[in-house]
């Protein structure tokens, strides 16, 4: 990632997932990276998206080790204890909608709130979240997957809005939402992810390449793993 300064520091939140762990490995292997740290429910400090206090505490703990030039939020949920993605309106229920939004929208929103201040104010920096193309309202042609689509669409709005605010104090920062494509992971496994998805390492390399190529005025955008801007 040549656009970041020599000795840059990086954080990956959700570093135990397939894409998160691959992103962390790529960053740790970059000779220009002085420090790359993965965060999650079983790290020190802990980041649990269901517990706002852990997000705030982790940011406070890591502040003294910064500034952090690259922060990537890679956690997400498509299915879980409350069931698979809803295909019909009749399948909507509070428990699944709340769980999906807590992981895909509310948690990342708090990450933005607590970790954006850790970016350097006068150096190139990146703060990215993993979104999904199915969160595009303009590209929605098949319907279904109600909670997941809506949670990612809301996440896209959050990153766009945050980019406007952060630019006022961090003019060289780039905030972006990223679509990683279908990756062979636990998230995609029930949908033949192993057959149709790419290796997590390949996806991570593509995403970092996209971030590397984004200019400062591209902040707040929604981009695919191939670098193409995606419709809202």
Q: Please report how many Cα atoms fall inside a 13 Å half-sphere around the Cα of residue 68, on the Cβ side.
A: 26
pLDDT at 191: 55
CA 201 to CA 18: how far, in whole Å? 8
> DSSP 3-state assignment of 221?
strand
pLDDT in tens, 38-63: 999 999 999 999 999 999 999 999 99
Residue of 50 and 190 predicted with greater confidence: 50
Question: Average pLDDT of 88-99?
Answer: 94
pLDDT at 65: 95
Asked whether residue 186 carries a pLDDT value surpassing 90, the answer given is no
pLDDT in tens, 103-148: 999 999 999 999 999 999 999 999 999 999 999 999 999 999 999 9
pLDDT at 1: 47
Q: Encode 122-158 in three state secondary structure.
A: CCCEEEEEECCHHHCCCCCCCCCCHHHHHHHHHHHHH
CA 180 to CA 138: how far, in whole Å? 18
Question: Average pLDDT of 148-170?
Answer: 97
pTM: 0.91
The mean pLDDT value of the chain amounts to 92
Question: Average pLDDT of 74-98?
Answer: 88
Mark out the alpha helices in the chain (DSSP H runs): 18-29, 52-63, 94-101, 107-115, 146-169, 193-196, 200-213
């Amino acid at each position: 990632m040549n656009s970041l300064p020599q000795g840059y520091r990086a954080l990956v939140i959700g570093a135990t997932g397939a894409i998160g762990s691959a992103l962390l490995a790529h960053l740790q292997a970059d000779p220009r990276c002085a420090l790359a740290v993965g965060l999650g429910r079983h790290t020190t400090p802990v980041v649990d998206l269901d517990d706002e206090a852990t997000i705030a505490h982790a940011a406070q703990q890591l502040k003294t080790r910064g500034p952090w030039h690259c922060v990537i939020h890679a956690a997400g949920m498509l299915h879980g204890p409350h069931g698979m993605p809803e295909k019909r309106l009749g399948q909507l229920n509070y428990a699944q909608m709340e769980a999906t939004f807590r992981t895909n929208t509310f948690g990342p929103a708090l990450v933005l709130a607590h970790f954006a201040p850790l970016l350097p104010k006068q150096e190139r920096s990146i703060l990215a979240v993993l979104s999904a193309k199915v969160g595009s309202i303009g590209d929605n042609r098949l319907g279904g997957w109600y909670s997941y689509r809506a949670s990612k669409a809301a996440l896209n709005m959050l990153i766009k809005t945050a980019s406007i605010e952060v630019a006022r104090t961090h003019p060289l920062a780039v905030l972006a939402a990223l679509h990683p494509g279908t990756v062979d992971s636990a998230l995609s496994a029930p949908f033949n992810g192993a057959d149709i998805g790419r290796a997590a390492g390949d996806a991570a390399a593509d995403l970092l390449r996209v971030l590397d190529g984004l200019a400062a005025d591209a902040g707040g955008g929604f981009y695919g793993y191939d670098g193409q801007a995606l419709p809202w």
